[in-house]
């Protein structure tokens, strides 16, 4: 007579615990990912990978915009300081343009204006973001700066540009001041026109920076919304449902305990059967 050791048919497994052996909740909990391998759901995994690809590009785009805004903020702040200097120069030139100002007073004003123009150029040469000079070509070259391009999106054409700037005495036509060594009331009146033209050009530079910053801020708002929406979609697809997986893991533990208990009972039954046959 043959004694069967397979008692699996006699083990009762609740319906709600059936079908959980094939899953791996512990792996999902550890990785915080619903999809841990291609076989979990090939179509859904492809969508998840595409969203991840887009998310990395969007995130970098937002970082690029923040860097570009910092660049423009530094440039605008420097232009503001230069504007204040021009205002001071204009006040002093107005004082020198009147005949009630003596020659000695006018010479003092002349020296003050020369120092202010030096400070004006020092601001232009020292204003930079990293290795990029903002207001002129570079620290030693007073030519116009390079065109500034900010990559603001995930496509090659998604960029915002700032026109070249040359905000120094050479670029604003102020470098001819006092080259002839004289500074009469008439010279002062002539220089007033030069200052007004320089001030207008300086304001054009600030306006250009301001409009570029507005474009970047608009792009930032749009990109940030895309990052949030993309992240939400990615989370819905790929992030693990902890409550569900912990429950599944608990069910597997219960099944394991049922299996161990069943095997133990089967062994006891088997031993008792053998003893009865031998007695």
Q: pLDDT (tens digit, 0 to 9) for every residue of the chain, 279 residues total? A: 444 454 444 444 454 444 444 456 545 555 555 555 555 556 766 777 777 788 888 889 999 999 999 999 999 999 999 999 999 999 999 999 999 999 999 999 999 999 999 999 999 999 999 999 999 999 999 999 999 999 988 888 889 999 999 999 999 999 988 676 778 999 999 999 999 999 999 999 999 999 999 999 999 998 888 888 887 777 776 655 444 544 554 555 555 555 555 555 555 555 555 556 555
Question: Which of 200-227 are b and which e, b meaning 16 or more Cβ less than 10 Å from the residue's Cβ?
Answer: eebeebbebbeebbebbeebbeebeebb
Architecture of the domain made up of 43-237: Up-down Bundle (1.20)
Q: Domain locations in the chain?
A: 8-32+240-278, 43-237
Please tell me the total number of residues recorded for the chain in this structure: 279
Count CA atoms closer than 13 A to 70's CA, side-chain side. 10
Q: Please, which residues have CB within 8 angstroms of residue 112's CB and are 6 or more apart in sequence?
A: 92
Residue 76: Cβ-neighbour burial (10 angstroms; 0-12, 13-18, 19+): middle
pTM here?
A: 0.71
């Amino acid at each position: 007579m043959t004694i069967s050791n397979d008692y699996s048919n006699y083990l009762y497994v609740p319906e709600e615990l059936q079908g959980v052996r094939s899953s791996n909740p512990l792996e999902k909990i550890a990785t915080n990912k619903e999809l841990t391998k291609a076989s979990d759901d090939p179509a859904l995994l492809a969508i998840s990978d595409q969203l991840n690809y887009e998310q990395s590009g969007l995130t970098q785009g937002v970082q690029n915009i923040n860097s570009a805004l910092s660049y423009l903020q530094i440039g605008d702040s420097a232009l503001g300081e230069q504007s204040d200097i021009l205002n001071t120069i204009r006040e002093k030139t107005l004082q020198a343009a009147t005949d009630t100002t003596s020659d000695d007073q006018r010479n003092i004003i002349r020296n003050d204006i020369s120092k202010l123009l030096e400070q004006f150029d020092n601001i232009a040469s020292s204003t930079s973001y990293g290795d990029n000079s903002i207001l002129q070509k570079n620290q030693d070259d007073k030519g116009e700066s390079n065109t500034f391009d900010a990559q603001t999106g995930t496509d090659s054409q998604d960029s915002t540009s700032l026109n070249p700037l040359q905000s120094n005495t050479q670029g604003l036509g102020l470098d001819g001041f006092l080259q002839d060594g004289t500074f009469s009331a008439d010279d002062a009146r002539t220089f007033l026109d030069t200052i007004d033209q320089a001030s207008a050009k300086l304001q054009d530079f600030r306006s250009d920076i301001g409009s570029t910053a507005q474009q970047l801020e608009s792009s930032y708002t749009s990109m940030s919304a895309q990052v949030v929406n993309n992240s939400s979609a990615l989370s819905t697809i790929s992030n693990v449902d902890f409550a569900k997986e912990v429950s599944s893991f608990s069910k597997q533990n219960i099944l394991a305990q049922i299996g161990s208990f069943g095997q133990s009972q089967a062994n006891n039954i088997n031993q008792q059967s053998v003893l009865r046959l031998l007695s």
